[in-house]
Structure 1
C-alpha cells in the first residue's frame, strides 16, 4: 500500500470550518484505490472514514468537486498499477479529492465497498497489534525469570491454601505431627503443580500445531511465549520443592528425590532459557499425571484409610497411569528421538546430551519405582481376595 497524495483544506475555505482540521489522503493498494478521510473531533481524537474507488468514472460520479482544497503531492510518483483504470486514476493531477457533501449521495455499491474496506482495515489493525504484542511486549528477555518468580509465588499460595483447607475440612489434620503437616501441605503443592504442567503439556503437544510434523523446520527449535512461561513456572516449583527437601532432609524424600528434582530442574531451566528441545521436555512433563495419584495414596494412608475401597482403587489407578505415562510414553519418546536424531545433533552440545541423558535416567528410575508399585498392587489384591 502506498500514499500517493494528501489534501488539506485552505484556511478560511467554506469546507474547512465544517471539517475541523480534516485531511484527505489518496492511497493505492495492490488492487484498489481509496480515499482516506481523517477528520479530528473537538477532543482531538482522530476518526477514520474510507471511500473506496474502483475506477475513475465512479470516483468522479460519487465525488463531485466541492469545497476548495489545496493539494500537496508527494514527490514520489505513483507506481504503475496492474489495472489500467487504477493507473489512470492515480495519474497525478487528474486525482481530485471528493467533496464532503458527496458522502450523502453514495450509491449502495460504493457503500458496500466502503464496508468491505473498513473490515479490511480493522483486520489489518488487528494483525499489526498482534505482531507488536509478539515482537515487542512479549519478547522481553525478563519473561522467563518473571515466570520463575511467579512459579515460586504460586507454590507458596498452593502450600498455604492446602494448609487452610485441610484445617477446615479434615478433622485429623491438627492431630498430625509437625513434619506430617509440612509433608501434607507440600504434597498439596506438588499436586497443584502436576495438574497445571500436565494440562499445559497435553495442550501444547496434542491440541496445538507448535510441535506438529506438518510444520517445516526442526522440531527441536520450536517454542513460544506460552511454552517458555509455563516452563518458568515449573522451574519455580522445582526450586521450591528442592529447597524444602534439602531443608528437611530426609523427611520429604531421600537421594532419589534429590536426583530426580535436580535432573528435572537443570533440563527444564536449560530448555526454558535456550528454547531448544521444548517438545521433549513437555513429553516428559506429561508423566506428572501420576503425581496426584501418588499423593492421594499418601493422604489416604496418613488419614487412616489404608483398608478402604478408595485405597484399592487408587492403587489400581497408579498402576495403570504409571504404566502409560512413565513407561509407554518414554518408549515413544525414545522412538521419536531415533526418528529425529539428525535434528537433535544440530542442538548445542549441552542440550544434545541432556536430550539423550535425562529421559534415559528418568526411565530407569520409573522402571524401578514401577516394580515396587507392581509388588504393592499384588500384595493389596492378595489381601482383598
Structure 2
C-alpha cells in the first residue's frame, strides 16, 4: 500500500512539474551562486596571496565578482547560441512570430539568471552601499522584471536574450577591479583591460541596444500583440537600461582617457 501511494505521488509530481519548472531553475541559480561564493572563499585564499590581506569587505566583493563573472560567461554564451545559432528564433512565417517562441531549455536559462539576480541584489542590499548604489538596484529590478515576464508568459524571450548579451562586458569590468585590488593599477595589463572594457561596452551595451531598438521598431506590429504588461515592459525596460548604459559608458570613457593620459606622462 505504501509503495502504491509513493508511485501515485511521483506521478502527480511529474504531472505538476511543468508548472514548477521555472521555480526549479531559479532555485538552481541561487544554489549555484551560493556554491560559487563558498568555493571562491576557499580557492581564492589558496591561490591568490593578496586575497588574505584584503579587508573583509574587499574579500566579499572579490567573491561576489567571481559569481557575476561566471554568470556572465554562462548567460552570454547561451544567449549567443539561442539568439543566433539555434533556429528557435529564426525567421519562419510558418512558425509564427519569434516573440512568442520559447523552449524548456531557454526558460531554464532565464530561470538560472533570475536566481543570480536575486542572489546579487540580496548581497547589494545587505552590504549597501559597498557593492553598488541605487543604479545597480534599479538595473537588477528591471532585469528581473523582464526575465520573470519572459519566463511566465513565454513572450519576448528573444529580446531578453539579446539584452543579456550585455553581460559580455562583466568579465572585463571585474578583471579591472581585480587588477586594482592586487596593486596592478599602473601596469600595462590594467591599461589594456581599460581599452578592452571600452570596446566591449561600446559593442555589447551601446551598439547592441541600438540594434534592439531598431528591431523593436521594425517589428512593432508584433510588439502590439503582447499583453499590456509585456507591451509597456518591452518599451520601458530597454530605454531605462539604455540610459544607465550610457551613464556608465561615460564614466568608463572618462576613466580610460585619464589612464591613457597618465600612461603617456
Relative to the length of structure 1, the TM-score reads 0.64
Q: 2:110 aligns with which of 197, 222, 231?
A: 231
Q: 1:299 aligns with which of 174, 178, 183?
A: 178
Residue in 2 aligned with 1:177?
55
Structure-2 separation of matches of 1:139 and 1:178 = 42
Residue in 1 aligned with 2:151?
272
**In the TM superposition, what is the alpha-carbon distance from 1:214 to its structure 2 partner?**
2.9
Residue in 2 aligned with 1:150?
28
Residue correspondence of structure 1 range 293-332 to structure 2 within 5 A? 293-332=172-211
Output one character per residue of 1:92-134: Cα deviation in whole Å (capped at 9) or x when no partner: xxxxxxxxxxxxxxxxxxxxxxxxxxxxxxxxxxxxxxxxxxx
Query: Which structure's CA Rg is the greater one?
Result: 1
Give the 3 Å change call, closer, same or farther, for CA 215–165 of structure 1 in structure 2: farther
Relative to the length of structure 2, the TM-score reads 0.92
Gaps of 5+ in 1: 1-135
Give the 3 Å change call, closer, same or farther, for CA 179–263 of structure 1 in structure 2: same
Residue in 2 aligned with 1:248?
127
Give the 3 Å change call, closer, same or farther, for CA 138–303 of structure 1 in structure 2: farther
The answer (yes or no) to whether the contact 1:138–1:225 under 8 Å persists in 2 is: no
Structure-2 separation of matches of 1:137 and 1:232 = 20
Output one character per residue of 1:328-375: Cα deviation in whole Å (capped at 9) or x when no partner: 000000010011111111111101111111011000110111111111
Structure-2 separation of matches of 1:374 and 1:228 = 35
Residue in 1 aligned with 2:9?
none
Residue correspondence of structure 1 range 91-106 to structure 2 within 5 A? none
The answer (yes or no) to whether the contact 1:219–1:343 under 8 Å persists in 2 is: no
Query: What secondary structure sits across from 2:50 in the alignment?
Result: helix
Q: 1:166 aligns with which of 11, 31, 44?
A: 44
2:19 aligned with 1:141, yes or no? yes
**In the TM superposition, what is the alpha-carbon distance from 1:246 to its structure 2 partner?**
0.8
Gaps of 5+ in 2: 1-13
Residue in 1 aligned with 2:260?
381
Residue in 1 aligned with 2:244?
365
Query: What secondary structure sits across from 2:90 in the alignment?
Result: coil
Structure-2 separation of matches of 1:146 and 1:259 = 25
Structure-1 separation of matches of 2:98 and 2:176 = 37
Residue in 2 aligned with 1:212?
90
Residue correspondence of structure 1 range 350-361 to structure 2 within 5 A? 350-361=229-240
Structure 1 runs (4+) greater than 3 angstroms displaced: 136-139
Residue in 1 aligned with 2:69?
191
Structure-2 separation of matches of 1:256 and 1:338 = 27
Query: What secondary structure sits across from 1:141 in the alignment?
Result: helix
**In the TM superposition, what is the alpha-carbon distance from 1:158 to its structure 2 partner?**
1.3
**In the TM superposition, what is the alpha-carbon distance from 1:137 to its structure 2 partner?**
7.7
Which of the pair is proportionally richer in helix?
2
2:221 aligned with 1:342, yes or no? yes
1 or 2 for the larger relative contact order (CA 8 Å, sep ≥6)?
2
